Structure 1
Amino acid sequence: MLLNDKNAVVYGAAGAVGSAVARAFAREGARVHLTGRRLGALEALAEDIRASGGEAEAAEVDALDERAVAEHLDAVAGRAGTIDVSFNAVGVPQHHMQGTPLTELRIEHFSTPIETYTRSHFLTGRAAARHMVAQGSGVILMHTPTPSALGIPLMGGMSPAWAAVESLNRQFSAEWAQHGVRAVCLRTTGIEGTATIDVVFGLHAKAYGITADEFGAMMADRTHRKRATSMDELADAAAFLASDRAAALTGTVANLTGGFVVD
């Protein structure tokens, strides 16, 4: 298995992306440490992973709380011995954040995603790196959608926020890769069938005067494959990138957009 005996911490694990990646990590042999602000949902996920033969535990951790993040990682390292993988899947509510022209967008709705994403990724990445640098190994993973690299209208502060995450990923690698700590960002299209993308497509569809299904089809048509990235494709790629088989990959973005963004 790709991640046998590794300890993987997932932030925002109760969400669609976080839970899918956590399951993939567990299938590949990792002990998964699930965190988020909805303990009930995290415990249900942990129980499901254990029922499938994996190892998982849940903890209520606010990824925007510096002390909570550090104390949780210290506790995990104390029990498990290492922090091998950190994956941040924290998101923000999308209502009011997208689908509004910049000329009409309120400053708090523009700045919220920028402040939230940069703070949470910095706090979780820094806390993980403090353990990983000391042990001489580790992988920090992030996730961004296509607007991080493209000029797409009606994205508000989301595009700058995701672009900042990708920039932070490069900076993490520049400082920590020499100590054995890799940093990789996974970039996907919007992933269909999730509650978040249903809201996002709805907001944009309303602005364009079309249905959410029509907007989703329009986005899929912009890819070379004529379909969006699937959740399984993201989760499987995350497991591979977290493994030692991807040892040469750091300071980069894994392009999983199926041709929506062409490198």
Structure 2
Amino acid sequence: MLLENKNAIVYGAGGSVGSAVAHTFAAEGARVFLVGRTTAALEAVAEKIQASGGVADVATVDVMDEDAVEAHADAVVRNAGSLDVSFNAISLPQTGIQGTRFVDLSPDAFDLPIATYPKANFLTARAAGRRMTVQGSGVILTITASPSRTAVALMGGMAPAWAAVEALSRGLAAELGPNGVRVVCLNAAGMPETPQLTEVYSLHADAYGISRDAFQARMTERTLRKQLPTVAEIADVAAFVASDRAAAMTAAIANLSAGMIAD
């Protein structure tokens, strides 16, 4: 198994991407620590992981609260012995953020993702980096989306926020690399089976005056394989990148856009 005897924190584990990654990490042998703001959602994920023979712990933590993040990371190391993987999959509801032109967007709506995503990733990565540096090993994963590197209308502050997370990931990799810590960002195109993408595609479809299915078809056509990535595909790559088999990979933006971005 790719992650046997590894301890992994998954932030935003109650969401579609976070829960899928947590399931895959557990299936690959990791003990997963599920973190989020809604206990019921986390417990539902934990129950499924445990029913499949995996090991999962649940903690309700606000990732914008640096003291809470630090205390939880301490608890993981104290209880499990190490912190080997950290993955941040937090997200915001996108209504009022996407689907509006910059010239019509309020400053608060523009600022919300920029104030949230980079800071949340900074706090969780900092907590992981401090403890991984001491143990001399570890992997920090972040996730963004293709508009960080392409020209896409109606994204509001999301594309700048994702670009900031990618820059943060590279800087962390440079600083933590000499201590045996890798940092990789997963850049994905939209995963249409997730509730958040249903919301996002509906916002963009409404702005263009077309159906959600028509907008999804438009996005699908932009990929080279004419198929958007699935959550399971993202989770599989996350597990590989977090494993020792990807030991040479750091400061990288892993392209999971199905060819929407050509590197």
**Please, what TM-score do these two structures have when normalized by structure 2?**
0.99
Instruction: Show the counterpart of 2:174.
Output: 174
What does 1:74-93 align with in structure 2 at a 5 Å threshold?
74-93=74-93
Matched AA of 2:84: D
SS at match of 2:161: helix
Alpha-carbon distance between aligned partners in 2 of 1:134 and 1:140, rounded to the nearest angstrom: 15
Q: Percent identity?
A: 56
* Partner Cα distance (2:257, 2:100) in 1: 24
Q: Provide the secondary structure at the position in 2 that maps to 1:143.
A: strand
Letter in 1 for 2:224: H
CA distance in 1 between partners of 2:43 and 2:76 (Å): 16
> CA separation in 2, counterparts of 1:26 and 1:174?
29
1:197 is matched with which residue? 197
Return 5+ residue gaps in structure 1 as ranges: none
Q: Bigger CA drift: 69-78 or 39-48? A: 39-48
The AA in structure 1 aligned to 2:72 is H
Post-superposition CA distance 1:198-220 (Å, at most 9, x none): 11000000111100000001001
The unaligned stretches of length 5 or more in structure 2 are none
- Quote the offset at 1:135 in angstroms: 0.2
1:134, distance to aligned residue in structure 2 (A): 0.3
User: Is the aligned partner of 1:141 residue 2:138?
Assistant: no
Q: C-alpha displacement at 1:244, in angstroms?
A: 0.2
Q: What is the Cα-based RMSD across aligned positions, in Å?
A: 0.5
How far does the alpha carbon of each residue in 1:57-96 deviate from its partner, in whole angstroms, 9 at most, with x for none? 1000111110000000101100101000000000111001
* 1:138-182 deviation line (CA, Å, top 9, x unaligned): 000011111011111110000000000000000010100111000
Match of 1:52 in 2: 52
SS at match of 1:64: coil
Partner of 1:125: 125
Alignment match, 1:208? 208
Residue 186 of structure 1 and its aligned partner are, at CA, apart by 0.6
How many residues align structurally? Answer: 263
State whether residues 193 and 230 of structure 2, in contact with CA within 8 Å, keep that contact through their aligned partners in structure 1.
no
Following TM superposition, by how much is the alpha carbon of 1:47 offset from its aligned partner in structure 2, in angstroms?
1.4
Whole-Å separation in 2 of the counterparts to 1:151 and 1:258: 17
Over 6 Å off, 4+ runs? none
How far, CA to CA, are the matches of 2:196 and 2:138 in structure 1?
A: 30
**One-letter identity of the residue aligned with 2:2:** L
Match of 1:2 in 2: 2
Shift of residue 30, structure 1, vs aligned partner: 0.1
2:228: which partner in 1?
Answer: 228
